[in-house]
Chains A and B, each alone.
Chain A
Amino acid sequence: MRVLIIEDDKDVASFIQKGLVQAGWNVDHADNGKDGLFLATTEKYDALIVDRMLPGVDGLTVIRTLRASNNGTPALILSALGEVDDRVNGLRAGGDDYLVKPFAFTELVARLEALIRRAGTKGSSAATTLQVGDLQMDLLRREVRRGEQTIDLQPREFQLLEFLMRHAGQVVTRTMLLEGVWDYHFDPQTNVIDVHISRLRSKIDKGFDRPLLHTVRGAGYRLDG
């Protein structure tokens, strides 16, 4: 995976860079918007991490310029604890996801992976069934089966499972779940999401030899086939 970080804060940039390099990613860094834009247009990246406030050309302008020239590389916007309409403006400018500083590294990686994956599977979202291991979801009939067994889910549990299945194999954080399933963007802080997950887990994993839904310590959850 190859990522470009456009970030003027040296500490943040090197924190991200070190972490990603350790995880085996290929990382380039630009510390201003102009250089970042140049790299992003001349090189091929799987994703961009763009700070909102940059000297010279700001982050949103970088993304807007890329999108105007038909460059669809998924972009994750970073921003200091926020001017409120940041998220809206960021997404409107063509950003694909949005993360407020300070953030946990695991959150960043989880979102980055989700972005890259989403970009790779664009257009296939029209699928009417999802499958992870022996777990099957029929989106039209709102039915879930594991092996031969039909699993009865509440509507919200169904949405939760759908989100996890669409991100199968990736770490999904609690914040991502709150955003993806409940459509709220604040930090859930407490264990509310965990309770929903454990209920879902008891429905899809109980009585089966191999668990599908795993807890990733300090980060979130992962559904593995």
Chain B
Amino acid sequence: MRLPAFFRTSVFQLTLIYITLFGVSVAALFVFMYWSTVGLLERQTNEVLDAEITGLAEQYQRGDMAGLVEVIRERVRRPSQERSVYLLVDVALRPLAGNMTRWPPQFDRPAELVEFAYTDENGMEVPVRARVMAIRNTGFRLLVGREIRELAQLKQTFRRAAIWGVAFTLALALVGGVLVGVSAQQRIAQLNRTTRQIIAGDLSKRVPLSGFRDEHEELAVNVNAMLDQIESLLAGIRHVGDSIAHDLRGPLTRLRSRLEILAAEPAPSRASLEECIAQADALLDTFNALLRIARIESGAYRSAFAAVDLSRIVRDVCDLYRAAAEDAQLRLSCDCTEGAVVFGDRELLAQAMTNLLDNAIKYTPAGGRIDVRLETDDRDARLTVADTGPGIAAADRERVLARFTRLDQARSQPGNGLGLPLVRAVALQHDGELKLGDNAPGLVVSLRLPLVGAAQPQTSARSGELTAELGRV
């Protein structure tokens, strides 16, 4: 059925809300206008009636019944713009004075406002509002009324205007709501069509743009941007998958053939078995490094980020590598500004730093120099590791940050092509930036990380406290 589906659309809901909102506001407007015009007239009429009836009652208290009757007769005779009605009756409801012949039977209770149709001397029916009062100690009753034809007419006009006004507003709201809703509906239907096509497998589809700069257009632009991102990520994943297959097939094949040869031997040597294990371990290391990069990139570590003392990490890792550098006949210098506190994961940062130093030691020929420097400005900490090795050509600098890239001159060294990709993943997760540059000669890697509480210079005393708090995990 077409209808129930329509009721569930946001067009219908929006229109309904639109109508309700409009209806209620117009109704409220009418109520207010009614209260401030008709209400005012009514209150004035009531006040006049009150004043007159109290005046008459006082007249009676000052004089006597005869005086009251006289005054009423006087009033009846006096012509006035608006017709007035008077009637004084005794206990048995017999009229004593006034221009009405009969006490209206339905108005018995005193001190009450009543409305009724009064038939005047010409036989015309006139709407009248009246107040009834019992006169004290006598059982007589007095009725004073006033013609309210204009008031009634005004009320009538108002009621009609209100009904038409509200009806017209609702109709307008309905039309407006449907128009606005349907156009939105069409845009969304288009978006839905595109997403369904994408779900069906065609990732190259994009939401058509209308060129009209509204929020629907913004949504469409964002959806398209998201799709671009997904497409490029997918391409990246495909590339990584291919690389993994390609890079791991080699060592696996070698391991397999070696095992095959061993299986053919009557008594395989312990050493060759251990070599096989070492090869399998190297493969496992590669897998672990891949998994770690993937985990870092997924943001899994972010939830455990805390303030960490980068200066201490840099010093620790330099300390860890100093011996290795000396063994490789390299001079390792560590010029480290104290108290650089960043928001991050201590292990990841240490691992990244380790990878950088590892690379530097691996590729710098004996007699060279590695300079580690940690500087801070008011916003960032900047860690640079500069070596005097062969460096990386400008054209290759972006490439080595991708997984499994091993430059030709690096093939002779052990490694899996995952060192710098891990550093970059760590940098990105810390809202930092990794850059490779020319140390002329050599490579300079710089890692920029935002400081905690940037703009306030950190004193070394403060960082000492922090370090103590961080403690051991």
Q: Report which A residues bind B (CB closer than 8 A).
A: 81-85, 87-88, 91, 102, 104, 156, 178, 182-192, 195-196, 199, 217-218
Contact = CB atoms under 8 A, between A and B. Distances in A.
> Would you list the 10 A-B pairs with minimal beta carbon distance, nearest first?
A84-B304, A195-B323, A195-B324, A186-B351, A85-B304, A84-B301, A184-B350, A192-B324, A88-B473, A186-B347
Contacts of A182: 316, 319-320
Interface in B277-333: 277-278, 281, 284-285, 288, 291-292, 295, 300-301, 303-304, 316, 319-321, 323-324, 327
A184 B316 contact: yes
A183 B472 contact: yes
Contacts of B285: 187, 189
Contacts of B351: 186
Nearest to A186: B351
B302 to A, nearest CB: 9
Contacts of B304: 84-85, 88
Given A186-B354, A217-B274, A84 B323 contact: no
B274 A186 contact: no
B358 interface: yes
A7 B284 CA distance: 22
A108 to B, nearest CB: 14
B304 to A, nearest CB: 4
Q: Which of B277, B320, B345, B346 is the most central at the interface, judged by chain A CB atoms within 10 Å of its CB?
A: B320
11 contacts: A82-B295, A84-B304, A87-B473, A156-B319, A184-B316, A184-B347, A186-B350, A187-B285, A189-B354, A196-B323, A218-B278
Contacts of A186: 347, 350-351, 354
Given A218-B277, A218-B278, A190 B358 contact: yes
A195 B361 CA distance: 13
Contacts of B316: 182-184
Contacts of A83: 300
Nearest to B302: A84
Nearest to B328: A195
B306 to A, nearest CB: 10
A81 B291 contact: yes
Contacts of B292: 81
Nearest to B294: A81
Interface string B329-367: 000000000000000011100110010001000000000
Contacts of A190: 324, 358
A185 B350 CA distance: 9
Contact of A185 (B278, B327, B347, B358): B347
A102 B295 CA distance: 15
Nearest to B277: A218
Contact of B295 (A81, A85, A187): A81
Contacts of A199: 323
A185 B292 CA distance: 13
A187 B472 contact: no
Nearest to A100: B288
A102 B323 contact: no
Given A91-B473, A192-B324, A195-B323, 12 more contacts: A81-B291, A81-B292, A88-B304, A102-B288, A182-B316, A182-B320, A186-B347, A187-B288, A188-B354, A192-B320, A192-B358, A218-B277
B423 to A, nearest CB: 13
Contact of B300 (A84, A183, A195, A217): A84
Contacts of A187: 285, 288
Nearest to B313: A184
Contacts of B291: 81
Given A87-B473, A104-B281, A186-B351, A81 B288 contact: yes
A87 B324 CA distance: 29
Nearest to B357: A192
A190 B319 CA distance: 15
Nearest to B348: A186
Nearest to A190: B358
A218 B347 CA distance: 24
Contacts of A183: 316, 472
Contacts of B277: 218
A85 B303 contact: yes
A189 B358 contact: yes
Contacts of B303: 84-85
Contact of B324 (A84, A189, A191, A217): A191
